[in-house]
Each structure stands twice: as structure tokens, then as C-alpha cells.
Amino acid sequence: MTEEERILSGLLFCPGDPTLKAIKLRTHNLCTQYNRLFEDEADQRAAILREIFASLGEGSFLQGPIAIHYGCHTRIGARFFGNFNLTIQDDAPVTIGDDVNFGPNVTIVTPIHPMLPEERKRLLDPQGTVKRMCYAKPVKIGSDCWFGANVVVCPGVTIGDGCVIGAGSVVTRDIPPLSFAAGNPCRVIREITEADSVRYKEEILGGCQVCP
């Protein structure tokens, strides 16, 4: 079993494996290239994103700078918007649906390191070789979600469709669809309903209307 197969199986793996390091180096270098480009160099930016991610839907935009770990483990739907300083540490798969909006400094992490210090330093692989090892759990984010600034999504979390995650939240457990959730650790505050429509916020409408 390869180290990447171990990742995808949820098993301990060695992040220092030469094959994994080559994947990460390639992606890190592509991120550096992306971050050096001006925002209006749209064609070059789009070409680099196609090289980084396993898939990126039509109409998606990443403000940059970005920090992506593997890239090939991340699939993003259509019309995604990622604001400044998006970080995705996608050792395990990361899936993001359509029409998702991220505020600045959103971070998604999937790897988990052993709790005991001595186990973080050294474990024996199946062949009995001493290595630094960790494991990872996938993250799934549904469609039509909005994350405020500085949200952190932790390993193994699933966030349902239509959720709003408040700024500064640390999401450590699953969030059901159509929830407003916030805090550290993040918890569901309430369900999102029709009463949240901007049609009822006359102080901000200024002549605007909700689409029929």
C-alpha cells in the first residue's frame, strides 16, 4: 500500500514520504506563482488553479494569496469565492459544493498528529522502520454556504448545505444544513429561516428588492 493509499484509507502515513513530498512541493510552487501574479492577470491565474486542484467549477474566483498543501485532494464546485489568505491543508480529501463564499483567512485542515509527544516524534511503520507519522480525516462542505473571516474547519467535519458560519469560528463537529453556527468550538445558534430575508431589513434596502 502506498502512503497516499494509506491517507485515503484513514491510516497512519508518513508525510515525509518522497512521493508525497514531491506532490506538495509542486503544489506549493504553483501557489507561489499564483501569489506573484496581479489580480487582472486572469488567464495565467486560471491556468495555475487548473493545475493545482483536482477540480474547480466554472465561475470560481480565489482572491489570493492562497496556501494549498496537495491540491489534487481538493474538489471545489461552481461559483466559489475565496477571499484573501485561503489555506487548505488537504492531506485527506476536501470537497466544497457550489455557490460557497469564504471570507478572509479561512483555513481548512485535515491532518491529525498523535497526542503523545513521543508518538509525534517516532512511530514504527508496517516494515518496522522508525518514522514521523500522522493521519487525516476528510472535510466536506455543502453548497450555498457562507463562512465569515478567520473560520477554521477541523479534520473530519461535514458542513451541510446553506450554512452560515460566524467569523472566528473553530468548527470541530458536523453542522446540519441551513444552520447559523458560530463560536469556539463552533455550535449551532439557530436554524436559518425565511425570517432572515433582507426583505425585512428596511434600514439597508435603499430601494433594492429581493428577486421574485
3-state helix, strand, coil in the chain (%, to 5): 25, 25, 50
Q: CA-to-CA distance for 90 and 81, rounded, in angstroms? A: 18
In this structure, what C-alpha cell is assigned to residue 74? Answer: 481538493
Give the C-alpha distances (Å, rounded to integers) separating 107 from 74, 102, 164, 177, 202. 13, 10, 15, 20, 34
Q: ∠ CA 198-200-204 to the nearest 5 degrees? A: 60
Can you state the angle between helices 42-52 and 18-36, rounded to 10 degrees?
170
13 DSSP assignment: B
Q: Assess whether 113 carries a catalytic annotation.
A: yes
Catalytic residue among 28, 69, 73, 113: 113
Q: Catalytic positions, please?
A: 113
